[in-house]
């Protein structure tokens, strides 16, 4: 044997090993993707179903066929989407993904065009839903217009968000920056309160709200939800303030700013991301609230989206799936859009960012 | 204005609103609940016959022959057992196991694909509770229109009434699909915070995927897992919103939290038996306080006092 041949026998065949390892990685990835797709399908299917009902169902029944057409478009789209992401050196992945979603959507529109209609959303322009469905002068004719509920919900969620963001950033800043007597005790009790399941307090909270005269007002749920979420949000904001270096503040103050000016003009812009995260969480919480809205009212003094949807589905359920689904879509949409827009902030939250 | 006075004013401005809100709607209710539990408050809001243990006698009676010195009434014992079953299975299958599986699988794939699946699993948590409840009502609908029955009959099964015949499974799965996402998020960020060199080193030494999970990831997850266990057990024990929205006041799913809620404030069916509800809530509150204190002690939560543990990139 020549020395060259010996050398060749000894060396590991790197090229081959690399190919083998790459192939194995692809298989593993494919298996994981398939597994996750399979377990995620029940969730996606349920939401897809709601949306198809909202846009296709006619009074009196639910066409099941449309769901299966929609599902048979969604599933291949999903699979190809996953495959595209698994191809390593594909340029413009994002463009491919969006293009694919566009194509899937287009096929869906073509196939379901005959079924598609907006009739279920007529509650948006017709102020009197119950009359529309059951004929004039039936029980429960006092049912409000959906926009009233929508703007009540919007009001509740927005005011609550403003209060939560303001109060928690004030408290978080103070706890992060100031030494005062009882600071560690305060922080520790806050920590215990954060872990404490506040929903157990619904009965005494009702009594307190009753005693201070806020029963049947929309301010009751606003204040209560704010208070219950505060310990958690104060900790988030404190974390953000902790991450801002002291030097920034110091230099602002050497330049003649007061403490409060430094807070307002220098520090707050630094924690913008935190304010957004807290704001989004608070808004979604306020938007979805059900227990404290129904619990803190006696009778039907004001309607928000949660109670509106609840009564629509209770009263109209058997008659008209389509309208109920359309109301649900209208209710879900703002929360969903907000969540998708700010998803990158929310899913990155680490420990301490705990909600149960 | 002298300096000290100004400092106090600062404190009042920055901490005052938070303290006021917390005192009014979080601390005061604990005290009020304690007092109300020992009255006969029902329908009207008066402190009748304070103090009385009447409400607790409805839950159980003293009996020197019994194992713990008291014997539970049947309805309350049933609520206790249902609560236990519900918490145990939801926690075991979803909030821990499935959350862990989701975190492990989504972190083992390309970032964008992984976050897509995590977003899907966060969807139920981000949807309004009434919408989620409604979806479930339609999925488990007992007619052939229900989504589950559509699929089930397609494979040749008879239509099932899941709410009636498998009520515990329905509330376990419905709460589990929401609960899994919290563990998923927290475990994911814990896995991400493991230095990548550890994985490279283990790979170079010939470790496979399961060895990585067993010897690197799981040890790093020890404290998040114990945290999630206690936190979620507590959250499930006191939760009633989804159970109420999906099952209504059904007997098969009348857990302790549901019992307390339906006897008092539940819309339309709430009976206004405030003292009775408060007595049950008191038990949950005591468990809550003990667990909250225990969590703080057991899992070294005081680390939070030094180092912030939230980061948003």
Considering the domain boundaries, does residue A3 fall inside one? no
Distance from CA of A109 to the nearest CA of B (A): 22
Considering the domain boundaries, does residue A294 fall inside one? yes
The per-residue pLDDT for A355 is: 29
Considering the domain boundaries, does residue A138 fall inside one? no
Q: Report residue B258 as tokens.
A: 């549901």
Average pLDDT of the segment spanning A187-196: 81
Considering the domain boundaries, does residue A230 fall inside one? yes
Most confident among A52-66, A109-123, A153-167, A269-283 (mean pLDDT): A153-167
Q: Give the structural domain span for A240.
A: 146-346
Best A74, A191, A204 member to test B by mutation, with max B CBs in 10 Å, is: A204
Are residues A197 and B235, on separate chains, in Cβ contact within 8 Å?
yes
Question: Is any Cβ of chain A less than 8 angstroms from the Cβ of B201?
Answer: no
Are residues A227 and B265, on separate chains, in Cβ contact within 8 Å?
no
Best B138, B203, B285 member to test A by mutation, with max A CBs in 10 Å, is: B138
Q: Report residue B183 as tokens.
A: 């563990």
Task: Residue A190: name the closest of A234, A140, A251 by CA.
Answer: A234
Are residues B28 and A208, on separate chains, in Cβ contact within 8 Å?
yes
Per-residue pLDDT for A351 more than 60?
Answer: no
If asked whether residues A151 and A105 sit together in one domain, one would say no
Considering the domain boundaries, does residue A331 fall inside one? yes
Q: How confident is the model at residue A349 (pLDDT cuts 50, 70, 90)?
A: low
Distance from CA of A353 to the nearest CA of B (A): 6
Q: Could you say which residues from 61 to 80 on chain B have a Cβ atom under 8 Å away from some Cβ of chain A? A: none
The mean-pLDDT minimum among A111-120, A346-355, B154-163, B226-235 falls in A346-355
> Higher-confidence residue: B38 or A352?
B38
The per-residue pLDDT for B65 is: 66
Task: Residue B131: name the closest of A143, A325, A184 by CA.
Answer: A325
d(CA B32, CA B49): 15
CATH number at residue B219: 1.10.3720.10
Distance from CA of A71 to the nearest CA of B (A): 12
Asked if A55 and A330 count as a contact pair (C-beta separation under 8 A), the reply is no
Q: Give the structural domain span for B188.
A: 59-306
If asked whether residues A290 and A157 sit together in one domain, one would say yes
Residue in chain B closest to A178 (alpha carbons) equals B11
The per-residue pLDDT for A87 is: 66
d(CA A189, CA B196): 36
Considering the domain boundaries, does residue B214 fall inside one? yes
Considering the domain boundaries, does residue B20 fall inside one? no
Question: Is any Cβ of chain A less than 8 angstroms from the Cβ of B293?
Answer: yes
B chain contacts of residue A259, beta-carbon cutoff 8 Å: 10
If asked whether residues A197 and A340 sit together in one domain, one would say yes
d(CA B83, CA B89): 10
Residue A308 CA from chain centroid, whole number:
20
DSSP string for B247-274: H-S-GGG--HHHHHHHTTTSTTT----H
If asked whether residues A231 and A298 sit together in one domain, one would say yes
Per-residue pLDDT for A1 more than 60?
Answer: no
Considering the domain boundaries, does residue A122 fall inside one? no
How many Cβ atoms are within 10 Å of B84's Cβ, its own excluded?
A: 13
d(CA A267, CA A176): 12
Residue A168 CA from chain centroid, whole number:
20
The per-residue pLDDT for B101 is: 92
Considering the domain boundaries, does residue A351 fall inside one? no
Q: Report residue A331 as tokens.
A: 């209710």
A chain contacts of residue B310, beta-carbon cutoff 8 Å: 235-236, 239-240, 349-353
DSSP string for chain B: --HHHHHHHHHHHHHHHHHHHHIIIIIHHHHHHHHHTTS--BSB---TTSS--HHHHHHEEE-TTSTTSEEE-HHHHHHHHHHHHHHHHIIIIIIIIIHHHHHHHHHTS-HHHHHHHHHHHHHHHHS-HHHHHHHHHHHT-SSTTSHHHHHHHHTTPPP--HHHHSHHHHHHHHHHHHHHHHHHHHHHHHHHTS-HHHHHHHHHTT--HHHHIIIIIHHHTHHHHHHHHHHHHHHHHH--HHHHHHH-S-GGG--HHHHHHHTTTSTTT----HHHHHHHHHHHHHHHHHHHHHHHHHTTTTHHHHS------
The per-residue pLDDT for B160 is: 81
Per-residue pLDDT tens listing for chain B (313 residues): 567 787 778 788 888 888 899 988 888 888 888 888 887 777 777 776 667 777 777 777 766 666 666 677 777 888 888 888 899 999 999 999 999 999 999 888 888 788 888 888 888 988 899 999 988 888 888 877 788 888 888 888 787 888 888 888 899 999 999 989 888 888 888 888 888 888 888 888 888 888 888 888 888 888 888 888 888 888 898 889 899 988 888 888 888 888 888 888 777 777 778 888 888 888 888 888 888 787 766 555 555 555 433 332 2
CATH number at residue A229: 1.10.3720.10
How many domains does the structure of chain B reveal?
Answer: 1
Considering the domain boundaries, does residue B12 fall inside one? no
d(CA B258, CA B264): 10
Task: Residue B209: name the closest of A79, A21, A348, A85 by CA.
Answer: A21
Angle at A258 between CA A252 and CA A261, to 5 degrees: 75
The mean-pLDDT minimum among A91-105, A230-244, A256-270, B52-66 falls in B52-66
The per-residue pLDDT for B310 is: 31
Are residues A199 and B238, on separate chains, in Cβ contact within 8 Å?
yes
Are residues A195 and B296, on separate chains, in Cβ contact within 8 Å?
yes
Residue B262: what are its φ and ψ, rounded to 5°? -70, -25
Which residue among A85, A166, A354 sits closest to B110, beta carbon to beta carbon?
A: A85
User: Across-strand partners of B61?
Assistant: B71
How many domains does the structure of chain A reveal?
Answer: 2
Average pLDDT of the segment spanning A251-269: 82
Are residues B182 and A180, on separate chains, in Cβ contact within 8 Å?
no
Question: Is any Cβ of chain B less than 8 angstroms from the Cβ of A318?
Answer: no
The per-residue pLDDT for A38 is: 84
Considering the domain boundaries, does residue B178 fall inside one? yes
Crossing angle for the helix pair A93-112 and A64-86, to the nearest 10 degrees: 170
Distance from CA of B53 to the nearest CA of A (A): 18
Considering the domain boundaries, does residue A352 fall inside one? no
If asked whether residues A71 and A191 sit together in one domain, one would say no
| pTM of structure | 0.85
Best B131, B163, B207 member to test A by mutation, with max A CBs in 10 Å, is: B131
Asked if A311 and B131 count as a contact pair (C-beta separation under 8 A), the reply is no
A chain contacts of residue B18, beta-carbon cutoff 8 Å: 167-168, 170-171, 230, 234
Task: Residue B290: name the closest of B279, B298, B300 by CA.
Answer: B298
Per-residue pLDDT for A356 more than 60?
Answer: no
A chain contacts of residue B190, beta-carbon cutoff 8 Å: 350-351
The per-residue pLDDT for B313 is: 26
ipTM above 0.90, yes or no: no
User: Sign of torsion, CA A272 A276 A278 A283?
Assistant: positive
The per-residue pLDDT for A67 is: 72
Considering the domain boundaries, does residue B7 fall inside one? no
A chain contacts of residue B26, beta-carbon cutoff 8 Å: 193, 196, 198, 201, 227-228, 230-231
Considering the domain boundaries, does residue B219 fall inside one? yes
Distance from CA of A197 to the nearest CA of B (A): 6
Q: Give the list of residues 6+ apart from residue B238 with CB closer than 8 angstroms, or none.
A: A197, A199, A200, B257, B284, B288
Residue B257 CA from chain centroid, whole number:
11
Asked if B261 and B277 count as a contact pair (C-beta separation under 8 A), the reply is yes
Question: Is any Cβ of chain B less than 8 angstroms from the Cβ of A348?
Answer: yes
Residue A6: what are its φ and ψ, rounded to 5°? -60, -45
Question: Is any Cβ of chain A less than 8 angstroms from the Cβ of B189?
Answer: yes
Alpha-carbon distance values, B207 to A9, B33, B204 (Å): 26, 55, 7
A chain contacts of residue B12, beta-carbon cutoff 8 Å: none
Distance from CA of B250 to the nearest CA of A (A): 16
Q: How confident is the model at residue A164 (pLDDT cuts 50, 70, 90)?
A: very high
Are residues A207 and B32, on separate chains, in Cβ contact within 8 Å?
yes
Are residues A64 and B145, on separate chains, in Cβ contact within 8 Å?
yes
If asked whether residues A176 and A302 sit together in one domain, one would say yes
The per-residue pLDDT for A352 is: 39
Considering the domain boundaries, does residue B44 fall inside one? no
Helix runs in A244-304, H state only: 246-254, 259-261, 268-270, 272-288, 291-295
Question: Is any Cβ of chain B less than 8 angstroms from the Cβ of A179?
Answer: no
Which residue among B106, B137, B231 sits closest to A356, beta carbon to beta carbon?
A: B231
Question: Is any Cβ of chain B less than 8 angstroms from the Cβ of A349?
Answer: yes
Question: Is any Cβ of chain A less than 8 angstroms from the Cβ of B284?
Answer: yes
Are residues A352 and B137, on separate chains, in Cβ contact within 8 Å?
no
Q: Report residue B115 as tokens.
A: 């976050």
If asked whether residues A216 and A100 sit together in one domain, one would say no
Considering the domain boundaries, does residue B65 fall inside one? yes
Are residues A224 and B288, on separate chains, in Cβ contact within 8 Å?
no
């Amino acid at each position: 044997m020549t020395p060259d041949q010996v050398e060749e026998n000894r060396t590991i065949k790197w090229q081959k090993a690399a190919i083998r390892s790459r192939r194995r990685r692809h298989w593993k990835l494919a298996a994981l993707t398939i597994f996750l797709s399979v377990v995620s399908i029940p969730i996606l299917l349920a939401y897809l179903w709601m949306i198809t009902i909202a846009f296709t169902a006619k009074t009196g029944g639910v066409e099941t066929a449309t769901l299966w057409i929609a599902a048979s478009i969604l599933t291949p789209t999903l699979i190809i989407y996953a495959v595209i992401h698994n191809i390593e050196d594909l340029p413009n992945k994002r463009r491919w993904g969006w293009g694919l979603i566009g194509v899937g959507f287009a096929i869906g529109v073509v196939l379901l065009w005959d079924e598609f209609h907006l009739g279920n959303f007529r509650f948006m322009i017709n102020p009197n839903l119950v009359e529309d469905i059951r004929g004039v002068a039936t029980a429960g004719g006092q049912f409000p217009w959906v926009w009233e509920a929508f703007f009540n919900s919007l009001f509740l969620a927005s005011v609550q968000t403003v209060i939560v963001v303001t109060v928690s950033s004030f408290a978080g800043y103070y706890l992060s920056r100031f030494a005062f007597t009882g600071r560690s005790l305060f922080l520790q009790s806050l920590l215990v309160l954060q872990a404490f399941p506040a929903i157990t307090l619904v009965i005494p909270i009702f009594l307190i709200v009753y005693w201070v005269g806020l029963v049947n007002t929309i301010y009751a749920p606003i204040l209560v939800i704010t208070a219950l979420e505060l310990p958690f949000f104060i900790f988030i904001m404190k974390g953000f303030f902790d991450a801002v270096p002291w030097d920034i503040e110091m230099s602002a103050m050497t330049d003649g700013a007061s403490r409060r000016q430094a807070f307002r003009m220098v520090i707050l812009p630094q924690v913008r991301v935190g304010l957004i995260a807290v704001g989004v969480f608070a808004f979604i919480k306020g938007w979805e609230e059900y227990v404290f809205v129904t619990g803190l009212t006696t009778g039907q003094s004001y309607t928000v989206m949660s109670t509106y949807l609840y009564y629509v589905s209770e009263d109209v359920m058997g008659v008209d799936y389509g309208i109920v689904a359309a109301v649900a879509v209208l209710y879900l949409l703002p929360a969903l859009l907000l969540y998708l827009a700010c998803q990158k902030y929310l899913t990155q939250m680490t420990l301490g960012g705990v909600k149960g | 204005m002298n300096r000290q006075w100004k400092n106090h004013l600062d404190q009042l401005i920055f901490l005052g609103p938070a303290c006021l809100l917390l005192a009014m709607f979080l601390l005061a209710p604990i005290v009020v609940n304690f007092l109300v539990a020992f009255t006969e408050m029902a329908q009207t809001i008066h402190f009748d016959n304070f103090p009385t243990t009447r409400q607790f006698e409805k839950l159980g009676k003293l009996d020197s022959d019994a194992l713990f010195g008291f014997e539970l009434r049947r309805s309350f014992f049933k609520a206790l057992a249902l609560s236990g079953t519900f918490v145990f299975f939801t926690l075991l299958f979803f909030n821990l196991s499935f959350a862990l599986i989701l975190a492990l699988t989504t972190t083992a794939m390309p970032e964008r694909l992984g976050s897509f699946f995590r977003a899907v699993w966060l969807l139920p948590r981000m949807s309004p509770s009434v919408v989620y409840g409604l979806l479930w009502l339609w999925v488990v609908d007992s007619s052939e229109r229900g989504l589950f029955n559509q699929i089930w009959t397609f494979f040749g099964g008879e239509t099932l009434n899941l709410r009636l015949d498998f009520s515990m499974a329905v509330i376990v799965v419905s709460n589990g699909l929401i609960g899994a996402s919290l563990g998923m998020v927290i475990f994911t960020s814990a896995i991400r915070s493991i230095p990548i060199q550890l994985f490279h080193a283990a790979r170079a030494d010939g470790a496979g995927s399961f060895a990585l999970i067993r010897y690197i990831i799981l040890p790093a997850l020890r404290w998040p897992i114990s945290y999630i266990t206690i936190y979620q057990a507590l959250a499930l024990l006191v939760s009633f919103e989804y159970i109420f929205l999906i099952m209504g006041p059904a007997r098969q799913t009348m857990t302790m939290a549901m019992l307390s809620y339906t006897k008092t404030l539940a819309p339309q069916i709430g009976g206004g038996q405030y003292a009775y509800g408060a007595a049950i809530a008191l038990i949950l509150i005591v468990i809550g306080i003990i667990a909250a204190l225990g969590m703080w002690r057991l899992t070294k939560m005081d680390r939070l006092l030094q180092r912030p543990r939230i980061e948003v990139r």
